Structure 1
């Protein structure tokens, strides 16, 4: 496929009010894209939209949506079509996590995470696929994670969702081969977002250990600026890269999982910073 050109193309981003999503919006704005930004945080969404307009976006529209509500997203696709005529780039970026072991996590919280991290990705892709297929040279980006390559303890729900996003993206890429729609699956690791500190606490945290652990993880392990992650994602879309692993830690984890798939965590656990 030809390189993706962003100027004048319609780009839809979920989870656009903060973190990687907000950084992506600004990168694409500087490329003179048309932006349709989605998030449940109305205030953050309005702030990012204003910044994107100032940065050079040709047009910006927003939609406040809680992806946990189980909607089929056909109304979202219809709104984009009505405003911009269709979609050239869909970025499924929104994601959440839980704090606690699988034993501690309630099934209601587990289902909440799966609804946002996996089912919303599938439903949103399904809703927008006709538009992508109707625009030759369109592209789809799904955000998996380092934890879609390796599976750590105390992240059972999150790893389940991100491994599933990886499989969904790879299978869909193979299915769409030759139909002029590119698919990139992204595995970020160590990007400085608020996903850890905003993790939902499942079960009692009377002594504050779960919250403290999330804060320690965020400070010690999440160090890459989201702007750098966004830059790499934009470059991957432009060059039609099928798979992007972000950060040296994620690349090391990916290599270990392929070299010693049954024992990689024994190695990783020995080199993790104390307290993580």
Structure 2
């Protein structure tokens, strides 16, 4: 399969108003892509669209969409096909998280998360798949997570969704490879976005412990600039890499989980305690 080129190619990005999605938008704008930006944040979309135009994007269109609404996205795909001829690249990036244990989580919140993190990925891919198959050399990118490789406590719903995205993407890659469509799964770990700060507090948080944990995680664990993550993702698309794990810490955690699948978390906790003592 030939390297993917971006100039003049139609790229659909969900969660484009912030974090990795915004950084990807600007990285692709510099490469003269045609951008279709999806997010529920109207003001954020407008701001990132202006920046993308200023950076040289061939064309920029924005769609205010709440991916939790369960729609099949056929109307969006039809509009992209009618206006731009179809999509060459689909990046399913939008994601949310919850705080608290599964015991604390409300099922309504779990279902909300699964709709955005998993079902929206399926719906977007299903809606755009006919266009991608019709356009030679197209590509799909699904953003999973480090927590699609390891499953820490307090992340039951999130890890469920991200492991599912990983499985979906790997199976889809095997289906589409003979058809000339590239597929990449991305596992970011420790990228500096606001996903932890914006985590929905699910269940009781009377003492503020969940919110405090979210702030601590944001301040201590999320250190890689999203711009660097975007550069790595763009390079992976260009080279048609099937899998990208971002940050050395994430790659180390992935290796540990594969070598010691039953013990990786207890080992990780022991290492963390040792570091606190030194």
1:204-232 deviations in whole A, cap 9, x for unaligned? 21211111100000000000000000000
Structure 1 equivalent of residue 78 of structure 2 = 78
Structure 2 equivalent of residue 251 of structure 1 = 251
1:65-104 deviations in whole A, cap 9, x for unaligned? 0000000010111121122110000000000000000000
Structure 2 equivalent of residue 230 of structure 1 = 230
- Could you list the runs of 5+ residues in structure 1 that have no partner in the other structure? none
- TM-score between the two structures when normalised by the length of structure 1: 0.98
Report the Cα distance in structure 2 between the residues aligned to 1:48 and 1:236, rounded to whole angstroms.
Answer: 23
The structural deviation recorded for 1:114 is: 0.2
SS at match of 1:44: helix
SS at match of 2:150: coil
Report the Cα distance in structure 2 between the residues aligned to 1:130 and 1:240, rounded to whole angstroms.
Answer: 20
Structure 2 equivalent of residue 130 of structure 1 = 130
Report the Cα distance in structure 2 between the residues aligned to 1:271 and 1:84, rounded to whole angstroms.
Answer: 52
- TM-score between the two structures when normalised by the length of structure 2: 0.97
Superposition RMSD on alpha carbons, in Å?
Answer: 0.8
Report the Cα distance in structure 1 between the residues aligned to 2:224 and 2:184, rounded to whole angstroms.
Answer: 20
The structural deviation recorded for 1:271 is: 2.9
Report the Cα distance in structure 2 between the residues aligned to 1:43 and 1:142, rounded to whole angstroms.
Answer: 25
Structure 2 equivalent of residue 63 of structure 1 = 63
Q: Deviating runs (4+, > 2 A) in structure 1?
A: 270-274
Report the Cα distance in structure 1 between the residues aligned to 2:204 and 2:261, rounded to whole angstroms.
Answer: 34
Structure 2 equivalent of residue 115 of structure 1 = 115
Structure 1 equivalent of residue 28 of structure 2 = 28
- Could you list the runs of 5+ residues in structure 2 that have no partner in the other structure? none
Structure 2 equivalent of residue 188 of structure 1 = 188
Larger CA deviation: 186-195 vs 197-206: 197-206
